[in-house]
Amino acid sequence: MAEDAPLVLIVDDEPDIAGMLDAYFRLEGYRTLTAASAAQAVTAARRAPDVILLDVNLPDTDGFTVCRQIREAVSCPIIFLTARVEDADAIAGFAAGGDDYVTKPFSLDVLGARVRAQLARDQRRLDRATVRFGGGIAVDFAARELRVNERACELARKDFDIVALLARRPGQVLSRDTIYERVWGEPGDSTVVTEHVRRIRRALEAAGCETDPISTAWGVGYAWRA
């Protein structure tokens, strides 16, 4: 499995369905996380998934509520999975921040195609975008470049990977462990993330940046200032 394979968060309280989806997406080359409740889903969303498959009927609350909670921190595509077929339910799902709606029972191949379409749409948006932030800071995802008032910062590959990971999720605190796993593709010594963040900050300062875009959540990790 490629270290940069998309991460799919599967939220479903039915073990058979969760296991089936987990096995399918792993076979298709994705990395996966599973959650069986709303509380687990909110916690797992901190791992910065690339797409979320979210069951509407969860044991502790409904998926629409979970979606609204997750949307406060993540911007990735969210696809609802549900046995509900009423138009009002679909409308409620989109209003809560969902991107697509798949009814049970569903074809795994069709669901896989929906996931690929959402990821491709999200990637096209990012590839086109030079996202600008306060203080004259801009992140050009296509050119893999961080600029301050149009002056490029000199960043190593892993340094930009960290910038891109954080900048795509402004305001979301990511733990050092999560950052390491997403950037290096495997668990490891997350203390090295701290040194890379120092290097990014030095590069920003050298480029004339007066506002640090990376906030530190002490004892947890880092976030890109929204």
Q: What is the rounded CA–CA span in Å between residue 122 and residue 141? A: 12
Sign of the alpha-carbon torsion through 141, 145, 146, 150: negative
pLDDT for the residue 127: 66
* 159 confidence band (pLDDT: 50, 70, 90): very high
Mean pLDDT of 65-74: 85
Q: What is the rounded CA–CA span in Å between residue 216 and residue 205? A: 17
Give the tens place of pLDDT for each residue, 28-65.
Answer: 999 999 999 999 999 999 888 999 999 998 988 888 99
* pLDDT of 3 strictly over 70: no
Q: What is the rounded CA–CA span in Å between residue 53 and residue 100? A: 10
**Helices assigned H by DSSP within 81-190:** 87-95, 108-128, 157-167, 176-184
> Does this model's pTM top 0.85?
no
pLDDT for the residue 11: 96
Strand order of the β-sheet with 137-140 is: 130-132, 137-140, 145-148, 151-152
Give the tens place of pLDDT for each residue, 177-198.
Answer: 999 988 988 888 889 999 999 9
Q: What is the rounded CA–CA span in Å between residue 225 and residue 132? A: 12
Who contacts 203 (Cβ-Cβ below 8 Å, separation ≥6)? 146, 153, 154, 155, 159
Peptide bond into 77 cis (omega under 30): no
Residues pairing with 102 in the sheet: 81
Q: What is the rounded CA–CA span in Å between residue 48 and residue 168? A: 10
pLDDT for the residue 2: 54
Give the tens place of pLDDT for each residue, 87-142.
Answer: 677 778 888 888 998 988 889 999 999 999 999 988 777 666 788 888 899 998 87
**To 10 degrees, what angle do helices 87-95 and 63-71 make?**
20
| All domains of the chain in start order, with CATH | 7-126 (3.40.50.2300), 129-224 (1.10.10.10)
* pLDDT of 26 strictly over 60: yes
* 83 confidence band (pLDDT: 50, 70, 90): confident
Q: What is the rounded CA–CA span in Å between residue 175 and residue 185? A: 15
With 0-12 / 13-18 / 19 or more C-beta atoms within 10 angstroms meaning exposed / middle / buried, residue 198 is exposed
